[in-house]
Structure 1
Amino acid sequence: MTSQEHLARIRKVLDYIDQHLVDELPLEKLAEIGSFSPFHFHRIFRAVTSETLLSYITRKRMEKAAMMLSLKKEKSLEDIFLEIGFNSPSTFGKTFKKHFGISPAAFRKNSPENFKKIQTIISNIGQKDVVFEQYLYQLEQMKFFMENKANIQIKEMPEMQIASVLSIGVQNIGNAYNTLISWAISKNIFPRENVKMITVYHDSFKVTAPNKVRIHAGMLLEEAIKNEGEVFLEILPKGKYIVSRQEITLPEFETAWNALFLWMNENGHQFRKECPYEIYHNDYQEHPEKKCLVDFCIPIL
């Protein structure tokens, strides 16, 4: 079995985990979904994700809990631990404190209204502390950025079919795009005049470390494809999105996303449980100022 086949099978498992965090996720069940034996599955999963299956599932559940505790303060603790697959408040509390170094109730109390990122740090005496990293910019500066660099619309986006390749961590997204483009060239899909590249974010940088965030390198398709090697057909659902078209440099992307999410909150919009994505309308390397013409798209209710 090739490494491409391994990645394709593990991607099926990651999709399943994301969609079933509330359920029991035994190794045997997940191995079956990936068409592995339990023994080989555990080894290959760790090779792909750099985490054991248990640590990966626990991290995903704790990250989801952290986001709900900080952003959904109307939800009860019971609703939250049930929604991520825990039956016992004490087990949830112990697991959360082990992961973040603080109880769920204290985490909720300490979380500010707006924050850039949740980080855990290890103190000099080996204890975990949670830090809510604040924005480097004041809200007024963020608003200035949006008013002067961003064309913001609320739009109904159509369903889109994309060919996509998995990247675990921002450090691997370039390799994922290289794999995708090589595949597209072999299929005579690329280069073409109207081909659009799309990056899809399956994790939030607010709570997931950059080297663990799950990202898909994508290419918009005119017709559906069959899964082949590392390349999967991915469906981006239709629905309401905040869409901000910007012409910016690569270092400005983080500021653009931060500002757009702040704009979403300031204007009373609620995030919908789908994946944010970027649609690129040019090759920034051909731009005289190395700027990207890009749509930042946030799904909302």
Structure 2
Amino acid sequence: MILHLFILEEYKKRIVKIIQYIDANLDADLSLEKIAEISAYSPFHFHRIFKLITGETLQNFIIRKKIEKSAFFLAVKKEMEIKEIYLDLGFSNHSVFSKTFKKHYGLPPSEFRRTAPKAFHKILQTQSKNGQTDTVFSQYICTIENLLNWTAMNLKIEVKEMPEMNLAAVMSLGIANVEHSYNVLIDWAKKKHLFPREEVKMISVYHDSFKVTPPDKVRIHACMLLDEKSEEPTGEVFSESIEAGKFIVGSGEVTLNDFEQCWVSLFLWMNEHNYSTRRTFPFEIYHSNFKEHPEGKMIVDFCIPIQ
């Protein structure tokens, strides 16, 4: 049993490394042979392991990541030409990109960009009367005015420089698995005598967007802020860092049900103030535990990296 758990942890560690590589190299050679070489497995062995850990084939994962990233750029980076987007993500031509995009979201890229309003919308897959899957945009805040009023009452928003942060992390595939990932991280931290401590900060880093990725496939890293990089990760725990830079930070005392509105508010605020995102990942910093609050509230910083 111990040997089995060790092997599974080693598999997960290598898969995390590969996923990080794919994220950073979506325009590069991501063939099975190349990825297997990086993972130090045979192509056949790696393909089976990857599907076992992630629930999808390597090729499907790569295509999904490219299309989800292109959807994000289409909705947020209005200044980017569609050609620039698909070439940057490794698509050979517009026809291939458009066909693949439409297969995922039911709309060609140009129509997707035109339909996506300034405020962020959730993409839902619904069955139409004729049995075909239609992509529809469902606003999760009724009006911009209501959202802005809610933001003013619940969030303090500012732009500030933040230092580099060294993290210990555990990957979660799917929102339902985040609590388990934090439990793994805390068990590791207890053995290192890093937890519990009053000054410990937990951080969730979002490597996918809920706007374009199904909740059961969203990749979230459950993280703990470390004083330095000296702690050696083991098992499912790996090192991660957040680069120093400029961030939009929205701070407030909110419930878990408010998180979606907080993120919508921040991205809307970003657009209204003409900021654009950097190519890194948004994250949440938790300053209190909702389980210890009578109304289930927690103090959270919602952070968007900007240029």
Shift of 1:270: 1.3
Task: Give the partner amino acid of 1:65.
Answer: S
Please, which of 253, 256, 280 is the counterpart of residue 262 of structure 2? 256
Is the 8 Å Cα contact of residues 115 and 132 (structure 1) preserved in structure 2?
no
Change (3 A) 1:289 1:121: closer
Shift of 1:101: 2.4
Shift of 1:126: 4.0
* TM superposition outliers: structure 1 runs of 4+ over 4 Å: none
Query: Which stretch of the first structure deviates more once superposed, 210-219 or 220-229?
Result: 220-229
Q: Could you list the per-position Cα deviations for residues 106-146 of structure 1 after superposition, in whole angstroms to 9, with x for gaps in the alignment?
A: 32333223232123334343433221221333211111122
C-alpha separation between the residues in 2 aligned to 1:93 and 1:141? 35
Q: Could you list the per-position Cα deviations for residues 129-186 of structure 1 after superposition, in whole angstroms to 9, with x for gaps in the alignment?
A: 2212213332111111221111111110100001000000101000000000001011
Is the 8 Å Cα contact of residues 249 and 290 (structure 1) preserved in structure 2?
yes
The equivalent residue for 1:157 is 162
The equivalent residue for 2:116 is 111
Structure 1 residue 278 corresponds to structure 2 residue 284? yes
Shift of 1:39: 1.2
Is the 8 Å Cα contact of residues 54 and 173 (structure 2) preserved in structure 1?
yes
The equivalent residue for 2:300 is 294
- Percent identity of the aligned residues? 51
Instruction: Give unmatched runs, 5+ long, in structure 1.
Output: none
Is the 8 Å Cα contact of residues 198 and 280 (structure 1) preserved in structure 2?
yes
TM-score, structure 2 as length reference: 0.93
Please, which of 24, 28, 50 is the counterpart of residue 19 of structure 1? 24
Task: Give the partner amino acid of 2:117.
Answer: P
C-alpha separation between the residues in 1 aligned to 2:27 and 2:187? 37
Query: Which stretch of the first structure deviates more once superposed, 160-169 or 262-271?
Result: 262-271
Change (3 A) 1:108 1:260: closer
Structure 1 residue 121 corresponds to structure 2 residue 163? no
Structure 1 residue 228 corresponds to structure 2 residue 248? no
Please, which of 195, 218, 221 is the counterpart of residue 216 of structure 1? 221
Structure 1 residue 242 corresponds to structure 2 residue 232? no
The equivalent residue for 1:40 is 45
Structure 1 residue 138 corresponds to structure 2 residue 143? yes
Q: Helix, strand or coil: the match of 1:2?
A: helix
The equivalent residue for 1:7 is 12
Please, which of 32, 35, 39 is the counterpart of residue 30 of structure 1? 35
Is the 8 Å Cα contact of residues 280 and 294 (structure 1) preserved in structure 2?
yes
Is the 8 Å Cα contact of residues 118 and 271 (structure 2) preserved in structure 1?
no
Q: Superposition RMSD on alpha carbons, in Å?
A: 1.5
C-alpha separation between the residues in 2 aligned to 1:151 and 1:242? 10
Map residues 48-197 of structure 1 onto 2, 5 A cutoff.
48-197=53-202
C-alpha separation between the residues in 2 aligned to 1:28 and 1:227? 28
TM-score, structure 1 as length reference: 0.95
Task: Give the partner amino acid of 1:88.
Answer: N
Is the 8 Å Cα contact of residues 12 and 33 (structure 1) preserved in structure 2?
no
Q: Could you list the per-position Cα deviations for residues 11-65 of structure 1 after superposition, in whole angstroms to 9, with x for gaps in the alignment?
A: 0010000000111201111112222221111111111111111111111111111
Is the 8 Å Cα contact of residues 77 and 276 (structure 2) preserved in structure 1?
no
Is the 8 Å Cα contact of residues 171 and 219 (structure 2) preserved in structure 1?
yes
Task: Give the partner amino acid of 2:252.
Answer: Q
Is the 8 Å Cα contact of residues 116 and 134 (structure 1) preserved in structure 2?
yes
Structure 1 residue 267 corresponds to structure 2 residue 273? yes
Aligned pair count reads 301
Is the 8 Å Cα contact of residues 123 and 138 (structure 2) preserved in structure 1?
yes
Query: Which stretch of the first structure deviates more once superposed, 67-76 or 159-168?
Result: 67-76
Is the 8 Å Cα contact of residues 115 and 133 (structure 1) preserved in structure 2?
no
Query: Which stretch of the first structure deviates more once superposed, 173-182 or 279-288?
Result: 279-288
C-alpha separation between the residues in 2 aligned to 1:76 and 1:260? 24
Task: Give the partner amino acid of 1:9.
Answer: R
